Structure 1
């Protein structure tokens, strides 16, 4: 909860006051037009970094914006004794567009293994979180806690889920888009944090991404597993803290994962 409150304090101090108040000078493009960073991303991460230096001074701090400034930092994650991985504003494109679908996220990694994850929703003012072996929980600032669980299995034609095809190879994109017609509903929130929250609270059956950065997925994968779900890279191998490619499919159970991989995410 101490880490959860650090995320909340930073988001409330830096992200929320700037929401729908950004001008063009406060938003810049990183790798391409859909990859944005705002003044709020940088300020929120810096506030978290300062608080983490007091709370966990021995931990390696790996933030999305810190890695943008120093890419070598990412390579230290796999071997770190203890690390905290931060996404100050997940869903920056939504945030910059004034859409209230963004999150502040953290994962704690010990010797390459994710041991805790937190997804804070600044608009709803609550957290979804998990510690390894302790289940997944919705927690509110008043202390209320609700245990989370993934949905019951459904036939493929009735499944609801999220999928991002933006980073798929161009020659595979059309095939996956055609295959997605086999499920009932497919969405893309442009915010991994809220896609994980939807899955672990029992409102969808799957989420799939091709681009993997640790701040987007480490906490959410642990949370999904603690809520009873199944996650693996698209080749079937476990998803680990140092992976940045290979695709990722998260579903409510192994059987659903196998069917989705075979029928939808096959290329």
Structure 2
């Protein structure tokens, strides 16, 4: 069954099992208490959980799809991967889906997988565990077409064991699973933005949009999830601070719900293997039913002049 399914379905199905295993690794490392923190740059941390989760995901997927390009945030690793970190089974429900015609004949060389093994590292080190996600985005050509977001600490305050965590997925032309999409409330404007990477331009964009409420949280995956679950209307980040592995998976799932994600000029990001990793134009994402163009039109000139 697995080998006869279209490549896109097999990629998503295998990514789901890989991120679930990575989520357990992240929890195990936190429980052991030695996070192994390394400072990659200003406000840019890496932990043993980042490194280990990436080794789990990249090794698991590359064993099954050796000809597919995989780009991970933490770069390549020569470390040996424990056998129980390598998962090669697939989510059977995904394999049974009907693949849209435009994705039926996708070839390995056309695909790029973007991996952020632990989105929200700073929040992870500070114990803000609800902000943490694991992201696997699947691009065909230039576009994000499939995404998987795992929340390793979803429901962790009231559950235990296998009941902790959840996994969301989305595929262009099919839809989403793992959560119940909701529309944000009418009659108000709730904007989510960065918790720890603000500056004068970021604040100018927020001021111009006159939100009724601002949700400052960590992780691009977490912010986009707020849109999809009806807790915010838009995600506004007028800075070049995030990368393709931050947005590929969230964009694919958001678009599958009817939302939109672009840079601050309204341009779609490119996700092919040769593209730059930095999202130099910032991020503007809107929930289903929101007027994306309104946000673009109401951004101040300082944003457009700064983010080229």
In structure 1, what is the Cα distance between the partners aligned to 2:125 and 2:300? 30
Of the candidates 35, 59, 76, which is equivalent to residue 44 of structure 2? 35
Pairing 1:6–2:18 present: yes
Question: What does residue 76 of structure 1 align with?
Answer: none
Matched residue, 1:148? 181
1:251 equivalent among 286, 292, 308: 286
Structure 1 residues 149 and 228 mapped into 2: Cα distance closer, same or farther (>3 Å)?
farther
Superposed CA offset, 1:107-157 (max 9, x none):
1122222221010001122111101111122x2xxxxxx5525436x45xx
CA contact (8 A) 1:119 1:219 kept: yes
* Higher radius of gyration, 1 or 2: 2
> What corresponds to 1:261 in structure 2?
296
Quick check: 2:192–2:217 contact (8 Å CA) kept in 1?
yes
**Match of residue 174, structure 2, among 134, 153, 174:** 134
From the superposition, tell whether residues 185 and 114 of structure 1 become closer, same or farther in structure 2 (CA, over 3 Å): same
1:16 maps to 27
* Structure 1 position 35, deviation (Å): 0.6
- Give the equivalent residue in structure 1 for 2:161: none
- The answer to whether the 8 Å contact 2:14/2:61 transfers is no
Does structure 2 retain, via aligned residues, the 8 Å contact 1:149–1:228?
no
- 2:249 match: 219
Aligned residue for 2:224, secondary structure, equals helix
Of 232, 236, 241, the match for 2:266: 236
TM-score (norm 2): 0.71
Q: What pairs with 1:86-101 in structure 2 (closer than 5 Å)?
A: 86-100=115-129, 101=131
Contact 1:164–1:188, Cα closer than 8 Å, also in 2: yes
Residue 190 of structure 2 is aligned to residue 160 of structure 1: yes
Q: 1:178 to 1:64 in 2, by over 3 A?
A: same
CA 16–110 in structure 1, closer or farther in 2 if over 3 Å, else same: same
Q: Which runs of 4+ in 1 moved over 6 A?
A: none
- TM-superposed deviation, 1:174: 4.8
Q: Which of 117, 138, 141 in structure 2 is aligned with 1:108? A: 138
Deviation of residue 6 (structure 1)?
A: 0.7
Q: 1:219 deviation in Å?
A: 1.1
1:68-96 CA distance string (max 9 Å, x none): 99xxxxxxxxxx52221111100000111
- Partner secondary structure for residue 19 of structure 2: helix
- 1:237-258 per-residue CA deviation (whole Å, 9 max, x = no partner) reads 2222236211121112586322
Evaluate the alpha carbon distance shift between residue 10 and residue 165 of structure 1 in structure 2; reply closer, same or farther with a 3 A threshold.
closer
TM-score normalised to the size of structure 1? 0.81
Q: How many residues align?
A: 243
Question: Which of 58, 61, 76 is the matching residue for 1:52?
Answer: 61
* Structure 2 counterpart SS, 1:42: helix
Task: List runs of 5+ in structure 1 lacking aligned partners.
Answer: 70-79, 140-145
Whether the 8 Å contact between 2:132 and 2:219 is mirrored in structure 1 is yes
Q: Is the 8 A contact 1:150 1:201 kept in 2?
A: yes
Residues 262 and 43 of structure 1: CA distance in aligned 2, closer, same or farther (over 3 Å): same
SS in 2 for 1:66: coil
The CA RMSD measured in Å over matched residues stands at 2.7
Match of 1:142 in 2: none
CA 235–254 in structure 1, closer or farther in 2 if over 3 Å, else same = farther
Q: 1:120 to 1:253 in 2, by over 3 A?
A: closer
**Unmatched segments (≥5 aa) in structure 2:** 1-12, 79-108, 155-164, 303-308
